[in-house]
Amino acid sequence: MGKCKICNKAAERIVSFGKMPIANGFLNRIPSDEFFYNLSVAFCPECFMVQLDETVKPDMLFNADYQFISSTSDAMAGHFEKISAEILEKISGKSNPFVIELGCNDGIMLRHIAARGVKHLGIEPSGNVASLARNNGVKVLESFFNEPVASQIVRDYGQADVICGSNVFCHIENINSVFKGIGILLKNDGVLFFEDPYLLSIIKKSAFDQIYDEHIYYFSGLSVSKLARKHDMQLVDMHPQDVHGGSMRYYLKNSLSNTANNKVGEFLSEEKALNLDRLHGYSTFKDNVDKICSDLRNTLSDIKRKGNRIVAYGATSKSTTLLNYAKIGPEIIDYICDITPNKINKYTPGMHIPIKSHEAFVKDTVLYALLLAWNHKKEILEKEKEYRRKGGKFITYFPEVVIE
C-alpha cells in the first residue's frame, strides 16, 4: 500500500476499480491502444485524507487540449456569479484589494471581478481555457501553482486579500506546496476558500463516479482541518454547495487570530458519526457501489430486452468511472449527447461510446436516457420538458437506480 501524499504515513486501501482510462480523455477515433492506470482510493489514519493511490502525470490531464469548460451550464454560471458577489462583499472597504483564483478555467468567476476593475489574477495551467479567460477580460498567469510561483506573484503583484479555487485543490497532488505558497501569498488578514466534491456526500450516496484521475483528494472537514493546522491556518467555516453532486466550501484563515464557527463543529461531528476518521467508516462503500452497478446493468438490459433503444445525457468526466467499472458500452448506449462543442463527434474513454450533439437528441425518438450529468438534473429536467412530455424517461443511479 502507498504512503499518504500529505503526511507520508502508511495509507490503507478503501476500494480498487481496476484499470481506468483518462476520465476527460475523449477520443477523436477509436485507438488501437489506450493509456490506462489503476484507479483505487486509500485512507490515511493519521491525517484522515481520502486520496488516490496512483496518480496520472498532471500534464497528461491539464494541457492545451483540456476539455472541461466551466461555462456549459446556466446553473454553474449563476453559482460562480454568486461567488464573485461574496468576494466583492469581503473586499469592500479594503484599499486596492487583490483577488487570486487558482484554476480560473475560462474566467467564469473572475470575469465578474475583472468587470468591477478589481485587481485580480487567475492561475491556469491549461492553455486553451486560459485563452478563453483572457477573452473574458481576465488577467491570467498560465502556470501550475506552487511555492516558487507564489513567491514570483508576490514579487510581481504583492500579497492577496482573497485566494480561492473551485474544483481545483482536489486536483493538485503536492497540496503541501500549494499551502506553503498560500502562506507566502495571502495577507495576514486574508481569507482562503475553496470548494470540492464533499467526501460525506460521496459516501452517503455511494457516488463513486466522483473518483477519477483528476480528483486526487476527497476532502472532509476532518481532513481539511488537519491540513490547515499543518500549515498554520485554521478551518473557520464550511458552506455546503449543491454543485457537482454535493460539494463543500471550506474557509481558512491565519490560525493566530481566528476561531472556527459552530458550523465547523457540527460538520465534524456528522463526519465522525459516520466514522470518516476510521477505515471502518468506508467498509460498506464497495458493496454499495457494486450493488448500484449490477442494478443499473440489469435495468438497462431489461429496457433493451423489451426492444427499446437507450442513449445517455452529458459526457461527463465522472461517467468514465461509471461506464468503465460497470462495463456499459456502445452495445447498450447508442450515443451520449452533450452541448460541449469539442466533445461532439468524439468517443468516450475506454468504452468508446460515440458523442453526439444535443440537436441529435432533440431529433431522436428514443425514450430512455441515462443521466450521466446527474449533478445538473434540475437544469436538465427543466430543459427537457418536451422529451418527457413525449414519454421520454431519465435513468439515475445515486443512491439507487430510478427511472423517472
- Could you list the residues that contact ligand TYD (CB under 6 A)? 68, 72-73, 314-318, 338-340, 343, 373, 375-376, 379-380, 383
Q: Which of 205/318 has CB closer to ligand TYD?
A: 318
Starting at the edge strand found earlier in the chain, the sheet holding 402-403 runs: 355-356, 336-337, 311-313, 368-371, 393-396, 402-403
Q: Which of 9/388 has CB closer to ligand TYD?
A: 388
C-alpha distances in angstroms, 256 versus 93, 186, 229? 23, 14, 11
Shortest distance in whole angstroms from residue 84 CB to ligand TYD: 19
Shortest distance in whole angstroms from residue 136 CB to ligand TYD: 18
Shortest distance in whole angstroms from residue 187 CB to ligand TYD: 32
Q: What gap in Å lies between CA 358 and CA 374, rounded to an integer?
A: 16
Question: At CA 153, angle to CA 149 and CA 155, rounded to 5?
Answer: 115
Q: Is 293 helix (H, G, I), strand (E, B) or coil?
A: helix
Cell numbers placing 379: 437544469
Shortest distance in whole angstroms from residue 316 CB to ligand TYD: 3
Q: Which of 99/130 has CB closer to ligand TYD?
A: 130
Shortest distance in whole angstroms from residue 75 CB to ligand TYD: 7
Shortest distance in whole angstroms from residue 375 CB to ligand TYD: 5
Shortest distance in whole angstroms from residue 177 CB to ligand TYD: 24
What number of residues does the chain have?
404
β-pairing, 217-218 with 50-52? antiparallel
β-pairing, 119-123 with 98-102? parallel
Residue 61 neighbours by CB under 8 Å, 6+ apart: 22, 24, 171, 213, 214
CB atoms within 10 A of CB 71: 17
